[in-house]
């Protein structure tokens, strides 16, 4: 057997899988299978991260042997699905907490586990190389300082983005003359407002949803530091006069989500693009689009018959949660106008792992430019 590389020494062990959310027995079994494949077929065997994800795909993916055991909707048993996937049972009370229900239903059980695997992989490998990257990071981001976190800023709208601290720090990876890089926060497609396009940056309008997302993600990948990025965006950049459109018509919003995240085999086809009555919201002339957040997983949307069944995510008070999605055409203005108006707040679980610690009102930001 060949000597393990530094990457394999860090990631390719059962401990990585345990930290990603698997029980010790499930992690040992999966790691043993990976070792066998690596010895038998070294040229074809993927890394342990991809092996774990491929195992989920083979069993719980679209054509998986245990596809029906996955959970993706309000009537499905997420706890049973996670146990079938080998998730550590002690994690379930937090993951299945009623407060997490709206966030839990945004993805399938298998997708939540895949996300935890990827987040744990990126953190463990990034942490192992952090010392080597320290000089470059200091050059790129200058020195980050801890400051009081503002709750609001006059003339600005506070928007929020949840992710791992490592991923969120990438907004400060740029160099002069444009040191802020909000485009680094882009989500992979499909998103609520596009099926294929990379470069969509969804942000949350309500801190309540951001905190629930952070709590849920931290409860799964509990060894990974998660945080909330607070961005103060000048109000004028989010108006229709600035080509930032708002989907106020519920029927238009439902149709938009359906055509972007609904079944691929139903009209309009993938290659036809969006219908004429909603295509203008995200055409290349627009800098962004705002609207409700879909409360349903992509897997559930694919089981629905039409767009009238698409439902918005709601806050505890019953109001619809809202998102602001920046398109590539907005990046330059956002990077310029939001410089020094971005704060990263790391959030941690309590020592017993049963709740998200309340905010201490502090956050990290880039030092002021001289």
**Residue 236, Cβ neighbours under 10 Å: how many?**
13
Strand 322-326 versus strand 201-204 pairing type? antiparallel
Bridge-based pairing of strands 226-234 and 288-292 is unpaired
CA geometry: angle at 339 spanning 336 and 342, to 5°?
Answer: 135
Percent of the chain exceeding pLDDT 70 equals: 86
Q: Are residues 308 and 201 part of one domain?
A: yes
- Say yes or no: 170 and 95 in one domain: no
Q: Which residues are CB-contacts of 93 (< 8 A; sequence separation ≥ 6)?
A: 354
265 and 347 part of one domain: yes
136 within a domain of the structure (yes/no):
no
Domain count, the chain: 2
Tokens for 69, please give them: 């055991």
Structural domain includes residue 117: yes
Over range 148-171, report the average pLDDT.
93
Q: What is the pLDDT of residues 329-364, one digit of tens each?
A: 999 999 999 988 999 999 888 877 677 888 888 888
Residues 187, 173: Cα–Cα separation, whole Å: 17
- Residue 200 is assigned to a structural domain of this protein: yes
Pairing of β 244-246 and β 288-292 = parallel
Q: Which two tokens stand for residue 99?
A: 């407060």
Domain stops at, among 128, 161, 192: 128
Whether residues 175 and 69 fall in one domain: no
Confidence (pLDDT) at 229? 97
pLDDT of residue 370: 42
267: number of Cβ within 10 Å: 9
Same domain, 291 and 320: yes
d(CA 334, CA 233): 7
Spell out the alpha helix ranges (H) of 262-324. 276-279, 298-301
Domain assignment of residue 1, yes or no: no
Distance CA 315, CA 322 (A): 10
**pLDDT tens-digit readout, 101-120:** 999 999 999 999 999 999 99
Residues 123 and 167 in one domain: no
Q: Pick from 355, 330, 102: which is nearest to 203 by CA?
A: 330
User: Distance between alpha carbon 248 and the CA centroid of its chain, in Å?
Assistant: 25
Q: Among 301, 291, 198, 308, which residue's Cα sits nearest to residue 253?
A: 291
Please check whether residue 314 is in contact with residue 293, taking contact to mean a CB–CB distance below 8 angstroms. no
Cβ(230)–Cβ(345) under 8 Å? yes
Tell me, yes or no, whether 244 and 359 share the same domain. Answer: yes
For residue 37, being part of any structural domain is answered with yes
Radius of gyration (Cα) for the chain, nearest Å? 21
| 122 & 215 share domain | no
Residue span of the structural domain in which 83 resides: 6-128
Contact 234, 156 (CB under 8 A): yes
Same domain, 178 and 247: yes
Question: Are 60 and 85 within 8 A, CB to CB?
Answer: yes
Residue 289 counted as domain residue: yes
Res. 135: pLDDT tops 70: no
Angle at 312 between CA 309 and CA 317, to 5 degrees: 135
Same domain, 111 and 164: no
Give tens-digit pLDDT for 193-214: 998 888 899 999 999 999 999 9
Among 70-84, 171-185, 265-279, name the one with the lowest average pLDDT: 265-279
**Same structural domain, 63 and 186:** no
The residue among 77, 94, 128 that closes a domain is: 128
In a domain, 192, yes or no: yes
Tokens of 349: 């679980």
pLDDT, residue 252, reads 97
Of 113, 105, 252, 125, nearest in space to 193 by CA: 252
Query: How sure is the predictor about 60, in pLDDT bands with cuts at 50, 70 and 90?
Result: confident
- Tell me, letter by letter, the H, E, C secondary structure of 14-48: HHHHHHHCECHHHHHHHHHHHHHHHHHCCCCCCCH
Answer yes or no: is 141 within a domain: no
Ramachandran angles phi, psi of 163, nearest 5°: 180, -175
Reply yes or no on whether the pLDDT at 173 is more than 80: no
Together in a domain, 163 and 277: yes
Residue 227 is encoded by which pair of tokens? Answer: 């945080």
């Amino acid at each position: 057997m060949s000597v393990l590389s530094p990457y394999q020494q860090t990631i390719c062990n059962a401990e990585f899988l345990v930290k990603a959310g698997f029980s010790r027995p499930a992690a040992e079994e999966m790691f043993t299978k990976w070792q066998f494949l690596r010895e038998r077929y070294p040229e074809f065997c993927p890394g342990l991260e991809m092996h774990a994800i491929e195992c989920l795909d083979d069993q719980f993916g679209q054509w998986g042997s245990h596809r029906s055991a996955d959970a993706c909707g309000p009537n499905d048993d997420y706890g049973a699905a996670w146990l079938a996937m080998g998730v550590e049972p002690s994690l379930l009370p937090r993951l299945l907490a009623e407060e997490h229900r709206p966030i839990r239903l945004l993805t399938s059980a298998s997708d939540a586990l895949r996300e935890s695997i990827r987040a744990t992989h990126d953190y463990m490998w990034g942490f192992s190389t952090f010392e080597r990257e320290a000089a470059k990071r200091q050059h790129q981001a200058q020195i980050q300082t801890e400051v009081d976190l503002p709750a609001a800023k006059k003339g600005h709208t506070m928007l929020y983005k949840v992710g791992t601290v490592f991923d969120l720090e990438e907004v400060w990876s740029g160099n002069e003359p444009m040191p802020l890089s909000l485009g680094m926060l882009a989500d992979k497609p499909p998103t609520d407002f596009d099926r294929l396009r990379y470069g969509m940056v969804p942000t949350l309008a309500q801190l309540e949803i951001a905190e629930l997302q952070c709590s849920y993600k931290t409860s799964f990948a509990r060894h990974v530091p998660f945080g909330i990025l607070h961005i103060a965006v000048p109000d004028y950049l989010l108006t229709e006069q600035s080509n930032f459109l708002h989907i106020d018509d519920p029927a238009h919003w439902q149709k938009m989500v359906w055509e972007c995240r609904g079944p691929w085999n139903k009209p309009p086809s993938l290659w036809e693009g969006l219908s004429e009555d909603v295509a203008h919201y995200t055409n290349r002339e627009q800098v962004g689009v705002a609207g409700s957040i879909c409360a349903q997983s992509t897997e559930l949307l694919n089981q629905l018959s039409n767009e009238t069944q698409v439902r918005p995510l709601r806050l505890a008070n019953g109001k619809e949660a809202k998102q602001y999605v920046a398109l590539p055409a907005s990046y330059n203005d956002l990077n310029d106008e939001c410089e020094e108006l971005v704060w990263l707040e790391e959030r941690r679980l309590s020592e017993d792992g049963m709740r998200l610690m309340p905010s201490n009102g502090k956050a990290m930001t880039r030092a002021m430019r001289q």
